[in-house]
Amino acid sequence: MKKFLKNIKNCLPIWSVVLFGIFFVSLIVNGIIKHNPAFADGIHNTVGAFVRVVSATVTSWIPFSLAEILLILSPVLVFLICFGMCKRLKRSVTEGVRYFVGFLSVMSLVFSVMVFGYNAGFYSEGVEKKVDFERENLSPEQLYETAILLIDAIREDLPYVSYPEGTYSQMTFSYSEMNQKLNRAYGTLCDKYPSFQRMHSNTKPVILSKPWTYTHISGVYTFFTGEANVNTNYPDFIMISSAAHEMAHQRGIAKEDEANFTAFLVCSLSEDPYIRYCGYADVLNDLMSKLSSASSELYAKARAYMPQELKNEYTAYSVFFDEYRENVAATVSTAVNNAYITSHNQPQGVKSYGLVVDLVAAYMLSQK
């Protein structure tokens, strides 16, 4: 018996026992949050908030995306892990088992971080409660009214927007300055609506942005590194809105429509006119698509009211996207993303992104 216990101890390091214990607790927590919104809120706003701040802070000093580098180097990492396993097995079975158990415990930590830091957000209170308005089914007339409100807001900032190419807009500040401006806007958001998590974080530009565009993904939040990664190949008005979206994920806004809405809200609260323009222009593009399906007459009327510069912006974006529109990578990526989103309390799947229109319209009409 003593020999058996000694073998177990040799194969199972203390730190692995601790990590497996956390994993076991996270499995229980993950089951409860799906059926108890109050418990999900409690985890999300306490342990979750702490995990998100720590993960974002630990990697903030790295100028590049650690998650992207890990992905690029994944074949090498897999080889090294397998090589390490074989090397230890040659020494002894105990060393090999100990190595494998250690690897499994690290992987279990990744799952635990996801549960505590991010998963609870899918089942906690929605942004409507944070901002205090009601989501509702909107009539074509309400969609049209919201479109006009957005276009009017764009008209106010249009004199400060730069169109160096004569077609699409361009930011007149650096990527680093963009991060600073968005952080200040998030600070304004938290001052106005204290339920949002207050933290300072920066997004990271993806090195392989151009090939990544073929997946149709403009940004991604990696919970295990705490990084908000942004595709910088997209036009600036999409890139800035996407950066605000991924920063929303960093702050625990898990659902895609709610992250889109938070990005819109943050951009609209920025002191920079171009940041505001990006928030308005991005969501107006989605709203016009929905208005087109609801009423072709009201769509045409709203389209006619648009400034020519904004029409050029959307046309240029469409031309840009033609190169990436149809490809295998996009099909596979969309299917994987749809499965992931559906499995996390968002039955609409990738269509969840477009549900931001309902939130923005309800919010703007309530503010009016």
- pLDDT score, position 203: 96
Q: Are residue 7 and residue 118 in the same domain, yes or no?
A: yes
- pLDDT score, position 142: 93
Q: Are residue 350 and residue 209 in the same domain, yes or no?
A: yes
If one counts every other C-beta atom within 10 angstroms of the C-beta of residue 12, the result is 16
Convert the pLDDT of each residue in 129-163 to its tens digit.
Answer: 888 887 777 889 999 999 999 999 999 999 999 99
Q: Are residue 165 and residue 222 in the same domain, yes or no?
A: yes
User: In total, how many domains does the chain have?
Assistant: 2
Q: Are residue 31 and residue 155 in the same domain, yes or no?
A: no
Give the dihedral of Cα atoms 33, 36, 39, 41; nearest 10 deg: 80
Terminal CA-CA length for the chain: 75
Distance in angstroms (rounded) separating the CA atoms of residues 34 and 123: 6
Domain boundary residue, one of 65, 93, 122: 122
Q: Which domain holds residue 184?
A: 127-367
- pLDDT score, position 15: 84
- pLDDT score, position 192: 94
Tokens of 77: 């990492």
DSSP string, 336-348: HHHHHHHTTT-TT
- pLDDT score, position 337: 65
Coil, helix or strand at residue 278: helix
Distance in angstroms (rounded) separating the CA atoms of residues 204 and 68: 10
Domain boundary residue, one of 93, 122, 151: 122
- pLDDT score, position 194: 92
Q: What is the DSSP letter of 162?
A: B
CB 128 within 8 A of CB 257: no
Q: Are residue 178 and residue 114 in the same domain, yes or no?
A: no
Q: Are residue 94 and residue 137 in the same domain, yes or no?
A: no
Convert the pLDDT of each residue in 229-244 to its tens digit.
Answer: 999 999 999 999 999 9
Q: Are residue 153 and residue 111 in the same domain, yes or no?
A: no
Q: Are residue 192 and residue 329 in the same domain, yes or no?
A: yes
Domain boundary residue, one of 69, 99, 122: 122
Q: Are residue 116 and residue 134 in the same domain, yes or no?
A: no
Q: Are residue 251 and residue 320 in the same domain, yes or no?
A: yes
Q: Are residue 302 and residue 238 in the same domain, yes or no?
A: yes
Q: Are residue 297 and residue 246 in the same domain, yes or no?
A: yes
- Residue numbers in the chain where pLDDT is lower than 50: 4-5, 350, 352
